[in-house]
Amino acid sequence: MSRTLIAVSRIVFCILLMTTTPTAASQVIIPSPAHLDKREGLLLIDSSFTVRVNGYTEPRLSSAVERLIARMGDETGIVFYKDQTPENTPTLEIRCARSSSAVPTLGEDESYTLDVTPTLARLESATPYGILRGLETFWQLLFPGPAGFAIPALHIEDSPRFPWRGLLMDVCRHWMPMEVVKRNLDAMAAVKLNVLHWHLSEDQGFRVESNRHPELHRQGSDGKYFTQKEVRQIVAYAADRGIRVVPEFDMPGHTTSWLVGYPGLASAPGPYSIERSWGIFDPTMDPTREETYGFIDGFIEEMATLFPDPYFHIGGDEVNGHQWNDNPDIVSFKHRRGMNDNHDLQAYFNKRLEAILAKHGKRMVGWDEILHPDLPPDIVVQSWRGQNSLAVAARNGYHGILSYGYYLDHMLPASFHYGIDPLGEEAATLDSVSMQRVLGGEACMWSEFVNSANVDSRIWPRVAAIAERLWSPPAVRDTNDMYRRLAVLSSRLEWLGLTHRTGRHMMLERLAGYSDVRPLEILTSILEPVKFYQRPVTRKYTSRTPLNRLVDATLPESRSAREFALSVDSLLLNPDNTRLAARVKTNLQLWHETCSRVRPLVSQSHLLREIDTLITDVQALTVAGLEALDVIGKKPVPDQHHRKEWQQILEHAARPHAELLIMIVEPVRRIVETAVQ
């Protein structure tokens, strides 16, 4: 037969093939356990798999075991027998020493030991929380091996580095219904996150039913809120998975939605309507009137029964002070009390708030801005400003958690988040007592530019890198290895019902007008959304702007571009490596050709029109890359004119298009620079 054709098709194929991620031999657990010793052999998992809980037990443990078996059944396709005979030695023996609080609180003992031999597995821990964590490790170890589904033999001793490992979900800017919260709790548990920071009120929406002040949810939510029954369900669902729920009701700023039903709370006369735009707005509670505290007292009393966690987040961020400055009564109040500025006034408000919280058995959590010498040391400061601000708080006796560097809405690569340590920078210099006050961190999923259709793809799998930073020893920091494990997790999260990949596929099909989605998929694979707060720069956004464009379907991090960059760097170090050269070339060719396949879709669909210049730039960029590659190989160095042309192409391609970034610009630049040398 025509051997040459087969040879060509070998090139053809390499473009279809992503880096494979072997699961059999290497460790895939994320977050990586504190100690892991590999052993010889495999524990086979077949339909005879059984679990027994010895020692202390409770319904939560039985539920966790049932969930594990159901999940393993889904994932393997094996029908596990329910009618296991108790006399038989179980495949997995669980031993829990003692009970712990039914609803988790800060600082539970989450450590566990997992022993797997080729004949059985044993999971031991002091409390049910350790068992819950260990079961997730057990699940992550399951893989389809050469002789059947199996768990590798090993010995794990594991415990978390930080006790507070959270994810903030903003269900206010865009509404996220029950199933979104639930599936994210499942995935959080899978990576051993233990706090859902539930951001429940904002200028754009008040999301909890209040019986005490019913106009809060009636007038402040567009009908999109959690009933008290649903809140209890979520709290129980989370507790079942060893996850605390810390509610946030942001005060005194970010409160427009409260003021729609209760304009008397504001520092300026109403009426107010639900905010539809994004940003920092004027409406602020009036901290000078006693009625405000009466209202809050009743509200917190009610919420205190709904949310059992001792910590209660009051926001406290981004008070712009306009309403305070414009209100003569407030100005004179400040003057009478000898307050220097609005920060003092907010500290007064927070102090009052803190007393109310304490009365109802709650400890205050707030953003950086709440820090003020007037506040007692048992508050927790959540820092979005950096480790240094965290260090200052800890040194002054306050507890703190880090969110700086963990903003998922910034659309940064997992490696960036992975590099941020709550005990990094100035915090690394704290004495051991102050260090203990750094409780951990929280990833933040602010929802101005995400909704329930794509929020999973913004959280997962990237948040697992943060989960590892907060759980695993600081020495665990091999980025490539993290990415390898992240890829496996990402696949397996689908079995938990996450939509981070299917949602993207459906959005791309919408964009392709239900014709073949593959070209768009390939093009999107080298793009990323713009970073930080760049989206509203070119376009006005409100809460009613459809999130149905290519930027909304594009994943925060381009795996193809990352891997392409690695290939380019290797090639530039080893220019004679023909296999590498072929791979780099074929990728550039594929992306070039993809553009002409996407072009017809652009004329068909109004949603794609905006990527017209992006396509032109990718085409020019890939041509420049291919030309430069040729030069490196053999051809004469191009003239000044040609160099300038390349430079312009690179400059064009580096600019955002339709709120998207072309992520192969930098590796192509390196090729061009090498060619020009």
Q: Which of 75, 318, 426, 494 is catalytic?
A: 318
- As a whole number of angstroms, the distance between CA 328 and CA 306 comes to 38
The smaller minimum CB distance to a copy of itself, of residues 399 and 559, is found at 559
75-86 burial, b for 16+ CB within 10 Å, e for fewer?
A: bbebebeeeeee
Q: Is 318 a residue of the active site?
A: yes
What is the nearest approach in angstroms of a copy of itself to the Cβ of residue 458?
15
What is the nearest approach in angstroms of a copy of itself to the Cβ of residue 629?
9
CA-CA distances (angstroms) from residue 476 to 24, 345, 466, 677? 21, 44, 12, 38
For 599, the token pair is: 């072009």
For 628, the token pair is: 């430069």
What is the nearest approach in angstroms of a copy of itself to the Cβ of residue 20?
4
The smaller minimum CB distance to a copy of itself, of residues 218 and 477, is found at 218
- As a whole number of angstroms, the distance between CA 351 and CA 342 comes to 14
What is the nearest approach in angstroms of a copy of itself to the Cβ of residue 2?
6
The smaller minimum CB distance to a copy of itself, of residues 531 and 597, is found at 597
Cβ atoms 142, 149 nearer than 8 A? yes
For 556, the token pair is: 């925060």
Identity of residue 153: A
What is the CA angle 325-390-533, rounded to 5?
Answer: 60
The smaller minimum CB distance to a copy of itself, of residues 148 and 361, is found at 148
The smaller minimum CB distance to a copy of itself, of residues 20 and 432, is found at 20
> Position of tokens 């490696």?
415
What is the nearest approach in angstroms of a copy of itself to the Cβ of residue 659?
15
The smaller minimum CB distance to a copy of itself, of residues 506 and 572, is found at 506
What is the nearest approach in angstroms of a copy of itself to the Cβ of residue 321?
32
At 269 the three-state DSSP class reads: coil
Strands 380-383, 399-402: pairing kind: parallel
H helix or E strand, kind and range, residue 347: helix 342-359
Q: Is 336 exposed, middle or buried (0-12, 13-18, 19+ CB in 10 A)?
A: exposed
Which residues in 60-203 belong to E strands, given as ranges? 92-96, 112-116, 121-125, 143-145, 148-158, 164-170, 195-202
- As a whole number of angstroms, the distance between CA 370 and CA 373 comes to 10
For 140, the token pair is: 């992550």
The smaller minimum CB distance to a copy of itself, of residues 355 and 637, is found at 637
Cβ atoms 191, 30 nearer than 8 A? yes
What's the N-to-C CA distance of the chain in angstroms? 44
Phi, psi of 263, deg, nearest 5? -65, -20
What is the nearest approach in angstroms of a copy of itself to the Cβ of residue 668?
13
- Torsion over CA: 175, 179, 185, 188 (sign): negative
Cβ atoms 589, 626 nearer than 8 A? yes
Where do the H-state alpha helices sit in 446-558?
Answer: 455-459, 463-471, 479-493, 502-511, 518-524, 535-538, 550-553
The smaller minimum CB distance to a copy of itself, of residues 565 and 590, is found at 590
What is the nearest approach in angstroms of a copy of itself to the Cβ of residue 177?
11
Active site residues: 318
